[in-house]
Amino acid sequence: MEKFDVVVIGSGPGGYICAIRAAQLGFNVAIVEKYNSLGGTCLNVGCIPSKALLDSSEHYFNATHSFEQHGIKISGLKPDVKQMIARKRQVVKENSDGVMYLMKKNKIKVFHGHGSFVSDTLLKVSGEKETYELNAKYFVIATGSKPANLQGVEIDKKQIITSTEALELETIPKHLIVIGGGAIGLELGSVFARIGSKVSVVEYMDRIIPLMDSSLSKELQRLLKKNLGFEFYLQHKVVSATKKSKDVILTIQNKNGENIELKGDYVLVSVGRKPYTENLALDKAGVQIDEKGRVVVNEKLQTSQPHIYAIGDVVRGPMLAHKAEEEGVFVAEILAGQKPHINYNLIPSVVYTWPEVASVGFTEEQLKEKNLPYKSGQFPFKASGRAKASMDTDGFIKVLAHKDTDEILGVHMIAPRAADLIAEATLAMEYKATAEDIGRICHPHPTFSEAFKEACLDAFEKRPLNF
């Protein structure tokens, strides 16, 4: 038996960041990972590999669709999917190796194997060759999530697949049917649409990215249809998926109860993710879970056992890597007696299509529901000099501010590099900036970031300078 101050179960963004921060604060730390490589879903089969493929496919799409307008002529261009996958694997390996380096740098002991509780102070780690017993003063559950299943659809991991298998496809689907209009499905659909696949999206709700501001949903649907040829079946329920010869027949039902059949060579099931809490023997530790399989925690992220904490996808809130990271730091600092802070309303969300979609704070629908008085300002990228220069004129930035105090309450954008632009909005809102504050800050010209300033000026006094 080995003894530690802190044992973190799971090496994803939440887990490894928590371990590093705890080590920085002087704790003797161990981390447990059931797979051979560190980094969890995000690094191995999520955020990082999907962005690698998105970037590769974006280069190809631009080369075939816009390079000639830039004065660059190329002939005989074709996608090499196997090389795209090989590059993706290399990116993943480099990042995973980087996490292992950080473990060594911070003197964190790594145990590979499946962790399960023996008691509230003892964890058994079953490795390929050895079994370890780890005793700790504190445990942090950071085991992440896995793709959710859908009734009536049996995932065979060959033609009916999840995002994990989609990231390894070395052939271009003729017709990829995506079940789910959230970030994962739209991002992976974009990858394959850019390199030649027909993509159809089936969504049960009445709009895609349903948790974001409705203005973003409408604009993204329009642009995916216009730029990549996406087909959308909104307000459709999946009835069944049947393999027939080399195809999959997906039967869906519209809001009038009528059945429609879609035929594709691949069906991607991307209906969200569920927390991975099975086989951890949480009952032996006295840790409670809710009806959705999430670990129940208080405001300090303590479970029903005060010395056992949980973070990331296994607890309430959005399943986002950066949310897990913040919670990892939060727990480590709580253990050290500090007073950290997380504002869950200011955790930005991003969809890495092109244009990218990003949001932070309240949506317009939420403000109406709360009866909060607000004003809105907007700036289109068709009026941006920088966007015209780079041929990225699709999209807009919308700023929602309190009608009386002018404090920024929400920022929603569909824009080139929105994933980076949203950080300024998050910073502004963390310090309770007003729309006027941002409108009076000098932004460099020409940049995409000027659009945020212009949208704020529009929200403040309806006086944008360039539109």
Q: What is the C-alpha separation between 416 and 394, in angstroms, rounded?
A: 8
Helix spans in 195-242 (H): 214-228
- Evaluate the CA torsion angle 77, 81, 86, 87 in order and state its sign: positive
Rounded distance between C-alpha atoms, residue 413 and residue 323, angstroms = 20
For residue 416, cis peptide bond before it (omega within 30 degrees of 0): no
Q: Which of 175, 412, 443, 445 is catalytic?
A: 445
Dist CA 359 CA 219 (whole Å)? 14
CB atoms under 10 Å from CB of 290, counted, come to: 12
Considering only CA atoms, which of 202, 200, 199 is closest in space to residue 180?
A: 202
190 vs 91: CA distance, rounded Å: 20
Is residue 445 part of the annotated active site? The answer reads: yes
Interatomic CA distance for residues 85 and 63, integer angstroms: 19
Cβ pair 39, 96 in contact under 8 A:
yes
User: Is there a contact between 136 and 123 (Cβ–Cβ < 8 Å)?
Assistant: yes
> ∠ CA 206-169-273 to the nearest 5 degrees?
40
**Closest among 247, 309, 270 to 19, alpha carbons compared:** 309
d(C-alpha 35, C-alpha 342), whole Å: 30
Question: Omega into 446 within 30° of 0, i.e. cis?
Answer: yes
Nearest-5° Cα angle at 113, 110 to 114:
125
CA 111 to chain centre: 27
Residue written as tokens 């299509």? 353
Q: How far is CA 401 from the centre of its chain?
A: 26
Which amino acids are annotated catalytic? Answer: 445
